[in-house]
Structure 1
Amino acid sequence: MSAPLVVFAVGNPSRGDDALGPVLCGRLAEWLENEGLAGQVELVEDFQLQIEHALDLVGRDLALFIDAGAGTPAPYAFRRIAPAAGIAHTTHELPPEAVLQVYRQTEGGEPPPAFVLCVRGESFELGEPLSAAAEAHAAAAFACLQRLCRAPRLDAWRTEAGHAALAA
């Protein structure tokens, strides 16, 4: 049986602030274990989203995509997303909306409600560590992740997205 919530953490740990997704995934894994919530959440960490990730959505109640963004309002943006066709550049690198569309096409139904937590990054140079600004943004995003995982329900996540939109 699948965990009701799947979290995709995307990014390259070797490219400065692009490591925000994997860093938050590691922190979240530890926190979920300590809180006794690990069985309720499946964490999927990868360098980028691919069409195969649509299969990770099967049987889920909610999905969350975590990534870093250069132009994202600080410290992060949290919003609901929907399937969208025609926005992929290749089949090897997809935005979350395209993964949802692949699910729709392959499974013949609607994907679970999905959200994006995009954390502002400042520096994405190869071989660089997380910037000080990204560390601060990660701390704020992690507090959001804790709220989301304590209340893995669509109504609670919609409320959180509304609060995030007002703060931006």
Structure 2
Amino acid sequence: MDAEAVFSELMENWAGLPYRRSFTQNTLGLACGESPERAARAALHALETRPVVHVRMLSLFEEFLAFKRDWGSEVEKAIYFELDAPGLVDRLIRMRPLAFLNSVDQFLLKTGEDGAGTGFDRIGTDDEASPLELRSLMSYQEMQLPALLAISV
């Protein structure tokens, strides 16, 4: 994929985000301006972004998956059935809520939906309810695992 197409895709994805952004002056589009060189460099950085995880953590991720396949809820078994450790790493990156904080589990989802209180504790159980579902968010049990990950840019 050429740099111009990658940059265009980045800008389309940015424009299509369903939630409000609190900043407008430090966006990728403004940083690159009309410079094809800056856009190409931004595209290259996007293409080279990788998860970083210690090799010993992969066995922990495999053990987590094996446990959930054997002892998880039906919802968990369906999600984890075909995942391997790299697939779980990808899931942990992609399924984060936009924000999750405070003792009352206040959240903001990538869809723009927000709330607080009950619900997150049911993700991955047979009692989960939309929009707090394992297919689109990580569970409490998964939340500990991303602490062992980083993203290189």
Please tell me the TM-score bracket, short chain as reference.
Answer: under 0.3
Structure-2-length-normalised TM-score:
0.26
Structure-1-length-normalised TM-score:
0.24
Q: Which has the higher contact order (CA 8 A, sep 6+)?
A: 1
Between structure 1 and structure 2, the one with the greater Rg is: 2
Higher strand proportion (structure 1 or 2)? 1
